[in-house]
Structure 1
Amino acid sequence: MTELPPVEYGVAVERYLAASALAEGSRRIYRIALDTWAWALADRSAPTGPERRRARPPVLPLALLDHPDAAARLRTAVARRGADTDPRTLNRELSTLRAAVAWWRGRGWIDGDPSADLRPGPLPEPSSAASATSAGTAPLTPEQLRALFARRAPLREQTLWHLLHESGAAIETVLALDTDRLDLPGRRTRPRSDRTTVRWGTGTARLLPLLIAGRSGGPLFLTDRRAPAGTPAADRCPHTGRARLSYRRAAELFGAQARSLGEEWTLRQLRAPTSTHPSRSS
């Protein structure tokens, strides 16, 4: 039986949270963040402090996200919250909204993405080695990696995380890979004129064949939706019509999974110490 799209924003929030693999505590944090944006869409200031958790958000239609003024209302809310909110908290709330909007769009419940052009504020510069570690520069520990890889995350994300960790390659390099460059038996990419080769281990070797099943060319990592008109052929899958996954989207997806574990990790922390990386040149 086909699920009817929800009319109310609040109902859409609950369906999104119910479909997530979040623990109850993380689900509550996500709900508070998404309720905050409901106030913005209603062109009203969200309560602050303890009142924020107890206040009932306005009831509004999900279709308001497709209203021409939605993006402007959200920009105003970002500026307002940026004046009295920690930058990391605001960035986390923006990431939560983007993830929910992408999920709703993937189901055809809304058409546009008013959060696409929102720009979070800059994070404070680390002032010491300890603060640098907390800001997301230290590689994940074996225990943290085990917790991450045990997540019920989509195959695409699991493959990307394993490949970044096992290869030690730059995120930009991995996201730029194409399916026809893979040498699966050799656990490496076929070298190009720049002589760069990406190598991987057993975890990636197990996942890659599943990820590329039925595809012989095009970007290795794809978005969930078809590529928009005007997307370069090199960034569009000839088999599915979907676009190459962007750095920003990959970071958002990873951040959401990290927050579900109560962490603020970044993709760069997946890279193992240099001494443990396979060779990356031929």
Structure 2
Amino acid sequence: MTELPPVEYSLAVERYLADSGLAEGSRRIYRIALSTWAWALADRPAPTGPERRRARPPVLPLALLDHPDAADRLRTALTRRAADTDPRTLNRELSTLRAAAAWWRAQGWIDGDPTTGLRPLPLPEPAEAAAPLAEDRLHALFALRAPLREQTLWHLLHESGAAIEAVLALDTDHLDLPRRRTRPGHTPLRWQSGTARLLPLLIAGRATGPLFLTDRRAPAGTPAADRCPHTGRARLSYRRAAELFTAHTRELGEGWTLRRLRPGR
């Protein structure tokens, strides 16, 4: 007999965790994270400290995730908790909610994704780990035999000086290639000759969709805004971009962070 779709948020959480294949310890951590987001959806501050584990989350209909202001409630909670919560913890909990919402959409239990537009918080870095790269190291970096996607991203980050999150959020139709800038109405970015040479090669045949794409097709439930309509691949994530940069720069003797690509003063 087919199970009926869950009406209540906490039951949907348990059904997701039961299907996740996670070990019991990991399921417990995921359960705490997803329960914490229930307070945000109820527009109430989440308990902190030891009380967080013992508090019973509010009873909510799962359909609340499709409410027009669900994303705003989550964004407000993210901002509020960022004042006194480690960004790694918040990013991990946001990733947990995003994965659960994708699974619920795949089951047909919800229609939208309230986490769309919520970006991971930047992680603090030691000053020496975030220092801009010297010219000789930049030359060595751009001389690496790295894929076109990586080289384009690295050049654009360096030449624009823009936040990594803003660059990864770009779509191909945001670009004004002849003027070497983004079109009006989008995050204002400008770039130079290195990026200008690479961008047309990167977007060849793609008029819309995310600028930087993953290597594989997007998983089921990926929001349309984060999926390329031409290739079916997903928008490149901050985490994956950072992993690739660190891996490639190990060839130069050390693994660097993407923030080192910002131009020096």
TM score, norm. by length of structure 1: 0.54
Matched, 1:246 2:222: no
Are the structure 2 counterparts of residues 273 and 84 from structure 1 closer, same or farther at C-alpha, using a change threshold of 3 Å?
closer
Deviation of 1:27 (Å): 1.3
RMSD of aligned alpha carbons: 3.8
Matched, 1:126 2:120: no
Asked if structure 1 preserves the Cα contact closer than 8 Å seen for 2:35 and 2:57, the reply is: yes
Matched, 1:85 2:85: yes
Matches within 5 A, 1:261-272: 266=243
Asked if structure 1 preserves the Cα contact closer than 8 Å seen for 2:116 and 2:223, the reply is: no
5+ residue gaps in structure 2?
132-144, 152-197, 199-213, 253-265
| Structure 2 partner of 1:224 | 219
Are the structure 2 counterparts of residues 9 and 83 from structure 1 closer, same or farther at C-alpha, using a change threshold of 3 Å?
same
Letter in 2 for 1:247: L
| Structure 2 Cα separation of the partners of residues 100 and 119 of structure 1 | 16
Are the structure 2 counterparts of residues 169 and 14 from structure 1 closer, same or farther at C-alpha, using a change threshold of 3 Å?
farther
Are the structure 2 counterparts of residues 27 and 11 from structure 1 closer, same or farther at C-alpha, using a change threshold of 3 Å?
same
**The residue matched to 2:219 in structure 1 has which SS?**
strand
| Structure 1 Cα separation of the partners of residues 65 and 220 of structure 2 | 18
Matched, 1:52 2:42: no
Are the structure 2 counterparts of residues 87 and 171 from structure 1 closer, same or farther at C-alpha, using a change threshold of 3 Å?
farther
Count of aligned residue pairs for this structure pair = 182
Are the structure 2 counterparts of residues 122 and 168 from structure 1 closer, same or farther at C-alpha, using a change threshold of 3 Å?
same
TM score, norm. by length of structure 2: 0.57
Matched, 1:236 2:213: no
| Structure 2 partner of 1:274 | 251
Asked if structure 1 preserves the Cα contact closer than 8 Å seen for 2:87 and 2:121, the reply is: yes
Deviation of 1:74 (Å): 0.7
CA deviation string 1:177-227 (max 9, x = no partner): xxxxxxxxxxxxxxxxx9xxxxxxxxxxxxxxxxxxxxxxxx961123488
- Quote the sequence identity (%): 66
Are the structure 2 counterparts of residues 88 and 11 from structure 1 closer, same or farther at C-alpha, using a change threshold of 3 Å?
same
Deviation of 1:4 (Å): 2.2
Asked if structure 1 preserves the Cα contact closer than 8 Å seen for 2:226 and 2:234, the reply is: no
Runs of 4+ in 1 over 6 A off after TM superposition: 226-232
Highest RCO, 1 vs 2 (Cα 8 Å, sep ≥ 6) = 1
| Structure 1 Cα separation of the partners of residues 110 and 84 of structure 2 | 31
Asked if structure 1 preserves the Cα contact closer than 8 Å seen for 2:106 and 2:221, the reply is: no
Deviation of 1:7 (Å): 0.7
Asked if structure 2 preserves the Cα contact closer than 8 Å seen for 1:63 and 1:110, the reply is: yes
Asked if structure 1 preserves the Cα contact closer than 8 Å seen for 2:113 and 2:223, the reply is: no
**The residue matched to 1:245 in structure 2 has which SS?**
strand
| Structure 1 partner of 2:260 | none
Are the structure 2 counterparts of residues 31 and 230 from structure 1 closer, same or farther at C-alpha, using a change threshold of 3 Å?
closer
| Structure 2 Cα separation of the partners of residues 2 and 30 of structure 1 | 26
